[in-house]
Amino acid sequence: MASTPTPSTATSIENPRVAARLREREKLRTSRFDSVTSLFMALIIFIGTFVSMLFIIWLTSRWSFPPLAIEPIIENPAGRGENPEGFERDFEPPGAEEVEELMEPTLQDTLEAVTDAVSSVAGALATTDTAATATTSGTGAGDSRPPGPPGEGEDIIPRFERWQLNFTARDVRSYATQLDYFKIELGAIGGSIQGVDIASNLSSRVQKSRIQDTASEKRLYFMWNSPSPLMEFDRQLLSSASIELANRQMLKFIPKDLENQLAVIELEYSTSKGHPSVTEIAKTVFECKSNGGDYAFEVVSQRYRKSRK
């Protein structure tokens, strides 16, 4: 028995345009193949983006950007150098009494001078050791410059006298890591050995070198002035480099870059305390602080000089 077609089916069969539209719609419908392909494409794009980001992070972590150059702070402390202490540093023309002393003595004067030679020398030494003004030797102020490099310079306490560097370490390895971070080298001088023995690369394979001409070494250095547990660490590190330490003094050599950084930190700290000039600083104590994997020096105390009126 033949079934009677429904109105919609009959309309579809009778209208070829509707039938063609239905066939086109079937073609545009998303298939399982398209769904799986889209899923894989999304995963590939996600994994590619993730790997690219990891590569960029790895690449930038290997880049090293040098720190911005800091303008060096140059100090010129006043010093005496090779000049002898005494009166009349200032040049003055000779007075009447001095002209008389410069004249050629007679024979009688020479004999009297020989007789009184011992008493004259004793009197001259006594006069030189006092702060009295010499009556027949002008009115010079004397050599008022403190010991140090030649030149007038400024009234500054030198860095090797006013600076103190403190380190905090639980063991010799962490101590060596701090020294290597700042490129500080250890040295030994004195005894019967000529020159300075240097130990570098302290946290891994210690390297040894020697400076024969000590006058060519211009770096700032520090010595131990009181016993400390870290002093034994220095001894261990120098011994690991096969450096002889008997009757020798241990040194720390500070690179120029670090010296300038310390000078900037010191001046910034003193300026914040109302002392904008380095001439006012008597003592600065730095301490090495850990910040993650990095280290930095900070000022932990500072003393100032009394004002001179």
> Domain extents for the chain?
96-144, 159-304
If one counts every other C-beta atom within 10 angstroms of the C-beta of residue 147, the result is 10
Cα separation, 19 vs 246, in Å, equals 108
> Residues 20-76: pLDDT tens digits?
877 777 777 777 888 888 888 999 999 999 999 999 988 888 776 665 666 777 787
If one counts every other C-beta atom within 10 angstroms of the C-beta of residue 126, the result is 10
Cα separation, 193 vs 246, in Å, equals 10
Q: What is the pLDDT of residue 139?
A: 43
Q: What is the pLDDT of residue 80?
A: 52
Q: What are phi and psi of 210, to 5 degrees?
A: -135, 140
For residue 142, give the nearest of 133, 151, 153 by alpha carbon. Answer: 133
Q: What is the pLDDT of residue 138?
A: 41
Confidence band, pLDDT 50/70/90 cuts, at residue 122: very low
> Residues 230-247: pLDDT tens digits?
999 999 999 999 999 998
Choose between 125 and 200: higher pLDDT. Answer: 200
Query: Residue 198 above 60 pLDDT?
Result: yes
| 86 Rama sector, left if φ>0, alpha if ψ -120 to 50, beta otherwise | left
Q: What is the pLDDT of residue 260?
A: 94
Choose between 221 and 63: higher pLDDT. Answer: 221
What kind and span of H or E run contains 208? strand 207-211
Query: Residue 212 above 70 pLDDT?
Result: yes
Q: Would you say 150 and 81 are in contact if contact means Cβ atoms under 8 Å apart?
A: yes
Q: What is the pLDDT of residue 93?
A: 55
What kind and span of H or E run contains 254? strand 249-254
The rounded mean pLDDT for the chain is 77
Query: Residue 118 above 70 pLDDT?
Result: no
Query: Residue 268 above 50 pLDDT?
Result: yes
Q: In Å, what is the CA distance from 263 to each residue of 41, 68, 224, 257, 274?
A: 60, 16, 21, 10, 17
Considering only CA atoms, give the Rg of the chain.
42
Average pLDDT over residues 268-297: 92
Choose between 216 and 234: higher pLDDT. Answer: 234
Q: What is the pLDDT of residue 289?
A: 92
Average pLDDT over residues 269-282: 93
Which of 119-123, 186-190, 249-253 bottoms out in mean pLDDT, i.e. has the lowest?
Answer: 119-123
Q: What is the pLDDT of residue 76?
A: 73
Most confident range, picked from 86-90, 105-109, 224-228: 224-228
Residue 248: both structure tokens together: 């020798």
If one counts every other C-beta atom within 10 angstroms of the C-beta of residue 153, the result is 15
> Residues 128-141: pLDDT tens digits?
333 333 333 344 44
Residue 78: both structure tokens together: 């006043």
Share of the chain above pLDDT 90, in %: 41
Q: What is the pLDDT of residue 15?
A: 77
Residue identified by tokens 């023309």 is 93
Which of 151-165, 195-209, 249-263, 287-301 bottoms out in mean pLDDT, i.e. has the lowest?
Answer: 151-165
